[in-house]
Structure 1
């Protein structure tokens, strides 16, 4: 069992993550240890990427929310786009506020901080659910098609949002209670969140490996559906770009050491949230066709419930339609 941190360490956690200076609204843990942060170009690049990602995820939200029908898988993508948009939006506001404004309004600053981390955790949870469901549909196709409850996607998404919202809401509320009684509770909450992070990351890795093996086996018979590549690319992108932010925050909280610059890990996290819409539209495009297709058609093709065939899977909806309501 990890040793409970001292009151000074816990106070340092909140001072460096919530009560940050006006020069940088999300000062990295390394700055709290007295290290300088020379990577100013990463902040500018992060803001540009955040703006581009906000536009891309807003387009996905509009198309999936109002322009197309919904399938069980598209409900997950809709919520993932919402989580990415919240992450990029709160990140952009915090940094811009720190650059041009005065970060003295603690309540609003704490709210943005909690939204930033809540959306990050929701995104990880959704990716884990998406990859796990794809594995179930591959390993147990008949059971998945016949016994999966109709509203599973909506229920799971609502549960994940409520769970993370409750956690970060409680953590934010406890910040204003300065009694020493709650110091141990802070540590317990962070330990629970860290355990959840490790569990989801392990499940994500196993399910991704399963899908890779499935795609490898399927490619010997016929071309695997775009949906498999979409899941694999989004998971791989998270493992490369999104995972470092959670890792360095966990390492710093328990050991007060830093593996890499906080700005650099934040930049990678912005790249992860920004790139997902481009993956959807890239996989849904048909480059052999002449002329421009509506983005709605491209997105529907990328999210189509295609099946590889065999193993009792049978035929499902046409790849260009999303007719199942979740």
Structure 2
């Protein structure tokens, strides 16, 4: 695309396709694409104020909530049920995600400038990519486990073992680490327009854009398809006799809430990122107004996606009576026993147990020290 003098604006209807020399995208949502200088553009008003505040709030809530989930499950006595493994790894993934949020909050507050060096830029970007992928795959694994437990209960019994659950989680982390590797090679410090410092962004390489688009399909779209298939089959099974127990229906409700929150948070970001990658590859020319909408949409979608990292503990707190009791006990510093066995909304493998209070503990209340 031929260059114009700085003072000459691009016609609002002229198609735009990112050139290889355009500035990179950074996770702060405040990147400065070079072509935007030719369009009537600007950042979201006061984004440098409320976006860092939102990131820091998500960091505080996510750090405390996910650490509490990991703490409760890690110190749980007795045999661990299948769902405990998935929930524990999901909380660990969210915990790794929220630890990067203060860095991105600082970058937003500084107008996109990254003050922490290239090493932390690559490491935090790698953590974001890896934990996002791990979260999507772990949720897909949980939906498959629910499908096997509800629809294929007898046939799937050899597959639903603690060894298989742990192996599945280990496989998820291996895939997530591989999916995050491109960020180590293609993300780094890139100069901000006007010589105002450097931002943490990706190289405008066609190879990286194509690879990112492929990874987006494999690590978000494919798990989403698997999840939808499993829950469609589960819904059909729940409408036929014999009916499953009330507690198991409640367990499906809380897992559906977790899945829906994840999809609702990450789907807008993933869809807009796919448009962004296609535009940079030259496959989707954009007029100037759509370019501005894409930039603002990505900023808002990034905030929504990042806030998801603190959502799961809040869902447990709202829907899981046992988790509320355990959280209250930990907050008050009590190590006494729960007064009674609580049927939990998050029970995933037994009708009268909870993610945080299982049948093994209820049968062994004399020695449990929750």
Q: Report if TM-score (shorter chain) is over 0.5.
A: yes
Indicate which of 207, 211, 214 corresponds to 1:189: 211
Counterpart for residue 64 of structure 1 = 73
Counterpart for residue 236 of structure 1 = 260
1:143 counterpart = 2:152: no
Rounded Cα–Cα distance in structure 2 between residues aligned with 1:273 and 1:218: 37
Q: Aligned-pair distance for 1:217? A: 4.7
Counterpart for residue 55 of structure 2 = 46
Q: TM-score, normalised by structure 1?
A: 0.75
1:27 counterpart = 2:54: no
Gap change, CA 1:11 and 1:168, over 3 Å in 2: farther
Gap change, CA 1:212 and 1:43, over 3 Å in 2: farther
Gap change, CA 1:215 and 1:56, over 3 Å in 2: farther
Aligned residues: 296
RMSD: 3.7
Q: Aligned-pair distance for 1:92? A: 2.7
Q: Deviations over 1:221-270 (max 9, x none)?
A: 75252321121111111222232222221221112552852232123223
- Is the 8 Å Cα contact of residues 248 and 260 (structure 1) preserved in structure 2? no
Q: TM-score, normalised by structure 2?
A: 0.67
Counterpart for residue 209 of structure 1 = 232
Gap change, CA 1:193 and 1:17, over 3 Å in 2: same
- Is the 8 Å Cα contact of residues 114 and 169 (structure 1) preserved in structure 2? yes
Larger Rg: 2
Q: Deviations over 1:77-107 (max 9, x none)?
A: 1111111122222123221355368526122
Q: Aligned-pair distance for 1:218? A: 7.1
Q: Deviations over 1:186-222 (max 9, x none)?
A: 2442233022022122112222333334445579775
Rounded Cα–Cα distance in structure 1 between residues aligned with 2:72 and 2:314: 14
For structure 2, the residue ranges without an aligned partner over 5 or more in a row are 1-16, 189-203, 281-290, 332-336, 362-370
- Is the 8 Å Cα contact of residues 97 and 127 (structure 2) preserved in structure 1? yes
Larger deviation, residues 218-227 vs 229-238: 218-227
Rounded Cα–Cα distance in structure 2 between residues aligned with 1:79 and 1:132: 16
Rounded Cα–Cα distance in structure 1 between residues aligned with 2:307 and 2:342: 20
